[in-house]
Structure 1
Amino acid sequence: MIGVGKTLAANLIADHLDASLHLESVEGNVILEKFYTATPEEEQAKRYPFLLQLAFLNSRFSDIKRALESRHAVLDRSIYEDWYFARVNTDLGRISELEFSLYENLLANMMEELEFFPKKAPDLFVFLHADFDTIINRISRRGRDFEQDASQLAYFRRLWEGYRDWVENRYHESPVLVFDTDRYDLSDPESQRLLLKLVDQKLAESALADAECPVPTVVAAR
């Protein structure tokens, strides 16, 4: 999800695991701003939602390949959840069914390529949860102009409403750690320590704390 605190959580986990950190970059992404600011007519003509999902898919695949060069790696967004964003935009009519079919084929081809890498899926998926009002407040505080348009509230709510269902019913690639960022504010050191303790426990439960195991990739999402 947008604005839930992924960057802070990813930094904390990466420091804790002495891991390489791979953050989603929005700097210089001209399509992202157009995605939020284009009129419906411009959106229809230029196909910005589809182009944005392709750009993120390509970026995510590159991040995974770079992450696997490290002993430990943390990504703040998952290639698996990109599908969810594409599906929501398709349901909203911003991406056509034909475009979504092409997107799914490209994603499937990328996932086949990952079969030849040491690790296809993350060892742990960290799902940060917050109430919708909390999400909107955080989006407002970070001050990206293109995210502040009130017309985007319906889109943000649609994403938020289905995200937990996607995690619980569609994501089956790795163990999931659910962390409530309303109850535990990650700006508080005690909450930070709790998050890191839970990450360690989840990795240990999966027998991934052993020094001889393959690269653990922790994905902090939502």
Structure 2
Amino acid sequence: MITISGSIGSGKTTLTTLLADHLGSRAFHEPAEDNPIIDDFYRGNRIAAQRRAAGEADAHNPYAFLMQVYLLNRRFATIKQAMRDDDNVLDRSIYEDRIFMRMNYDRGNVREVEWRTYEALFANMMEELPYAAHKKSPDLMVFIRAGYDTLIRRIARRGRPFEQVDRDPSLAGYYRELIRYYDEWSRAYDASPLLVIDAERYDFERDADDRAAVFAMIDRSLAAVR
């Protein structure tokens, strides 16, 4: 199983689809368009930011914990599906879920009890993963590292209203902070081989030569894993 990791707008969904086609396997995408909580989550972030600016003591996002548990549960189910055949490609790994929950906690969007509850649930799920999906970690983790300007361009191109900085200027700080959290995560990740793709160097979405170069790097990494 190959997982594609990276910040919002880094090109995970695109590379997942392209790579699955290249490998003749199946792409498993994270829930986005059919997520029933996502609009409330972004609205809750704005409300929480306003409350913090007003000096309120409890300014958490009431939808943040629900959002993270929903995504964690969906991803756990998707991993079990992806493990049924060889070389399937998963859009975002379960390891990344904790990045978003930690960031929500650090920003004050979730309370201490919600963070501790999530941590316990995550730990229990990771213990069960080898039994439910035959292994605990992917065979190869591909991390797309992208800068802020690249993220914003790709987010604008795909056009999801709730992600647009011009609609919600507070998202600019959120995206910059998310890049930093991902960089820290990628330096500490050791659950499987990690391949870093520089999105500033390789435009695998629009340039055929860059796409071929990225596939070649992944093919070499898979050969080494095997």
TM-score normalised by the shorter chain: which range applies?
A: 0.7 to 0.9
**2-structure distance, mates of 1:133, 1:46:** 27
Partner of residue 103 from structure 2, selected from 88, 91, 94: 88
**2-structure distance, mates of 1:60, 1:111:** 12
Counterpart mapping for 1:71-86 below 5 A? 71-86=86-101
**1-structure distance, mates of 2:75, 2:117:** 17
Counterpart mapping for 1:142-161 below 5 A? 142-148=158-164, 149-161=168-180
Task: Give the match's secondary structure for 2:200.
Answer: coil
Counterpart mapping for 1:59-208 below 5 A? 59-116=74-131, 117-148=133-164, 149-169=168-188, 171-186=189-204, 187-206=206-225, 208=226
**2-structure distance, mates of 1:81, 1:46:** 20
| Matched positions, count | 205
**2-structure distance, mates of 1:22, 1:14:** 9
Match of 2:54 in 1: none
User: Normalization by structure 2: what TM-score?
Assistant: 0.86
Unaligned runs of 5+ in 1: 209-222
Shift of residue 129 of structure 1?
Answer: 1.1
Cα 1:82/1:45, change in 2 over 3 Å: closer
The list of structure 1 runs, each at least 4 consecutive aligned residues, that deviate by more than 4 angstroms after superposition, is 43-46
Structure 1 position 7 matched with structure 2 position 23:
no
Unaligned runs of 5+ in 2: 1-6, 52-57
**1-structure distance, mates of 2:40, 2:104:** 15
**2-structure distance, mates of 1:46, 1:19:** 39
User: Normalization by structure 1: what TM-score?
Assistant: 0.88
Q: In the alignment, is the contact (CA less than 8 A) between 2:64 and 2:109 conserved in 1?
A: yes
**2-structure distance, mates of 1:28, 1:46:** 21
**2-structure distance, mates of 1:128, 1:46:** 28
Shift of residue 32 of structure 1?
Answer: 0.9
**1-structure distance, mates of 2:31, 2:140:** 22
Shift of residue 141 of structure 1?
Answer: 1.9
Q: In the alignment, is the contact (CA less than 8 A) between 1:36 and 1:152 conserved in 2?
A: no
Same amino acid, percent of matched pairs: 45
Q: Which has the higher contact order (CA 8 A, sep 6+)?
A: 1
Q: In the alignment, is the contact (CA less than 8 A) between 1:127 and 1:178 conserved in 2?
A: yes
Match of 1:30 in 2: 36
Supply the RMSD in Å over aligned alpha carbons.
1.6
Shift of residue 30 of structure 1?
Answer: 2.5
Query: 124-133 or 29-38, which moves further after superposition?
Result: 29-38
Shift of residue 163 of structure 1?
Answer: 0.8
Aligned partner letter, 1:6: K
